[in-house]
A and B are shown apart, each in its own frame.
Chain A
Amino acid sequence: MHEFAAAFATALRLIGTLDPDLVEIVGLSLRVSLSAVLAAALVGLPLGAALAAFRFPGRRVVVVALNAMMGLPPVVVGLVLYLLLSRSGPFGALGLLFTPTAMIAAQAVLITPIVAALTRQTVEDLLVEYDDLLRVLGTGPFHTIATLLMEARVSLATTVLAGFGRASAEVGAVMIVGGNIDHVTRVMTTAIALETSKGDLPLALGLGLILIVLSLAVNAAVSIIRDSARGSFV
């Protein structure tokens, strides 16, 4: 039980003194996860909307496969990416292994299916209302997708946040492709894993508390932005 009290005290001390290692790790974690979410949103949102709006042969197979990919094991994604980016792998010449870029790629691979699959469902529900209208107006494919995404933006914000949550909580993939290198590829989750490995459980738990607070902060920020956009303050 005393570990929880020690963890709380450690977390407060790290935040209060703006511990430079902590600032560095938090900065990198945010950069990696936010970049991954941005990439995933750029690909996943239009992809999900397109899947919902258009009919084509094999559509059902794609939808099922996309849903299944929401459950991709992170450590497997990490391993596959490691083999691809390794010097003796096909993309080795890029020299991306053990860099934040590789970590962003790994997280993007993991959360794009989540964003796409949830977007598809959201937009499909929306189409019940909008399908006839869009047909009558004869909108082209690009405008159809853009309109649907715009109309669904409030629900899609939650989808994107779900992607962010998954990305920032992930440790298996980034550990393998990043290598948890001090000052280079060490993020919150891999730092927690390392401190646990060193037996410093209060520090590991303290970092965990900070990670949760960070996630709360991001979600709160989005909520405030959303409400001010709507003109209401709850």
Chain B
Amino acid sequence: MLRRTFIAAAVAAAALAALPHTASAADRFITVASTTSTEDSGLFKYLLPLFTAKTGVEVRVVSKGTGQAIDMARRGDADVLLVHHKPSEEKFVAEGFGVKRLPVMYNDFVVVGPKADPAGIKGLKDVSKALARVAGAKAPFVSRGDDSGTHKAEQTLWKAAGIDPAAAPGGWYKALGQGMGATLNAAAAMDAYTVADRGTWLSFKNRAGLDVVVEGDQRLFNQYGVILANPQKFPHVKAAEGQAFIDWLVSSDGQKAIADFKINGDRLFFPNANEPGA
């Protein structure tokens, strides 16, 4: 009886081992820490197979908010960092965690809100003025609240309007601590305003009553940068393959691939690796 059980368990273990395996650790791959905006918009699903086909290097993306991605890279858990908050990126390099920051592509942020537009900001060109109206009307507003690039950009806009929304009374400002998709889901369900990156917005499928209300302000510009983790600080980093990925992203092939990524004819990201000050 006992022996039969042991044999059955051994067979089960063997069967488990035979189940389809995903790529083994021996395959060539790099780990990229990136943001939810690049993942949720579908950019990576489109872009990465092109790189892998060309070089045979698999790209494994772990997508979190910018703050979390940078933290992950600081621990040495990523070979390449691709995020969208230039001050944080430059600090990362200055502190010796990264080799060099290169611009890759940009898009913009938009303010989305309910079609009913209770704060009356639709069509405004000045985003800080629009946010001031939202605060004045105490209209529901949801924030990423997760230290991401989008969150940091949103905080900069509130500061430019001279408002501290977290301290404002009335409970209209809600910090969720979630990614862009989850925040948009919440905004859709609550009929609230929020700041989103255009890439995630264009590919988001649960818009309910939401639509873009404010866009085009210079301050809504959203630049993405890419950095190789410093192999001197982290000896295990796959510097050669990581650099190959960065080189491809800023090359004409990579930049064209980024430009070709469209949803319903709309381009989500605009390549600008050749802009020195980006």
Q: How many A-B residue pairs have CB under 8 A?
A: 94
B interface size (C-beta, 8 A): 42
Q: Select from chain B the residue with minimum beta-carbon distance to A153.
A: B5
Residues facing A in B55-76 (CB within 8 A) are 60-63, 74-76
**In B1-26, which residues have CB < 8 Å from any A CB?**
1-2, 5, 9, 12-13, 16, 19-23, 25
Report the Cα distance A200→B206, complex, angstroms: 6
Q: Which residues of A contact B206 (CB under 8 A)?
A: 199-201
Whether A98 pairs with B75 at a CB distance below 8 angstroms is no
Q: Does A198 contact B (CB under 8 A)?
A: yes
Number of interface residues of A (CB under 8 A): 36
Q: Which chain B residues (93-125) contact chain A, with CB distance < 8 Å?
A: none
A211 within 8 A of B: no
The answer to whether residues A199 and B16 also contact, given A87-B76, A183-B22, A184-B60 and a CB cut-off of 8 A, is no
Taken residue by residue from 190 to 207, chain B's Cβ proximity to chain A (1 for < 8 Å, 0 otherwise) reads as: 000000000000011111
B-side binding surface: helix, strand, loop or mixed? mixed
CB distance from A177 to the nearest CB of B (A): 11
Q: How far is the CA of A195 from the CA of B28 in the complex (A)?
A: 28
CA distance A87 to B25 in the complex (A): 16
Q: Nearest chain-A residue to B237 (Cβ)?
A: A87
Given contacts A181-B61, A194-B39, A197-B179, list 14 more A-B pairs with CB under 8 A.
A24-B20, A28-B22, A31-B20, A31-B21, A34-B16, A38-B12, A88-B74, A88-B75, A98-B60, A98-B77, A181-B62, A197-B181, A198-B40, A198-B181
Chain B interface residues toward A at CB < 8 A: 1-2, 5, 9, 12-13, 16, 19-23, 25, 31, 36, 39-40, 42, 44-45, 60-63, 74-77, 179-182, 184-185, 188, 203-207, 234, 236
Taken together as a complex, chains A and B put the C-alpha atoms of A182 and B13 apart, in Å, by 26
Q: Is A150 an interface residue (CB 8 A)?
A: yes
CB pair B25 A99 closer than 8 Å: yes
Is A5 interfacial (CB 8 A cutoff)?
Answer: no
Residue A30, interface by CB 8 Å: yes
Assess whether B76 is in contact with A180, with CB atoms less than 8 Å apart.
Answer: no
For residue A180, which residues in chain B have a CB less than 8 angstroms away from its CB? 62-63
User: Would you list 10 pairs from A and B whose C-beta atoms are within 8 A, ordered by A residue?
Assistant: A28-B20, A28-B22, A31-B20, A93-B236, A146-B2, A179-B62, A183-B23, A184-B23, A197-B40, A199-B188
Return B59 CB to nearest CB of chain A, in Å: 9
Please name all residues of chain B whose beta carbon is closer than 8 Å to the beta carbon of A95 when the two chains form the complex.
25, 236
Q: A182 with B205: in contact, given A87-B76, A199-B185 (CB under 8 Å)?
A: no
CB pair B22 A184 closer than 8 Å: yes
A86 contacts across to B, CB distance below 8 A: 75-77
* Nearest CB of chain B from residue A225's CB, rounded to whole Å: 10
| B74 contacts across to A, CB distance below 8 A | 88
Query: Is B60's CB under 8 angstroms from A181's CB?
Result: yes
Instruction: Evaluate contact between B76 and A150: CB separation under 8 angstroms.
Output: no
User: In the docked arrangement, what's the CA distance between A218 and B9, Å?
Assistant: 16
* Binary CB contact string for chain A from 7 to 41 against chain B (1 if under 8 A, 0 otherwise): 00000000000000000100110110011001000
A97 at the interface (CB under 8 A from B): yes
Residues of B within 8 A of A179 (CB): 60, 62
Q: Is A100 an interface residue (CB 8 A)?
A: yes
The residue in B16, B22, B61, B182 that gathers the most chain A C-beta atoms within 10 A of its C-beta is: B22
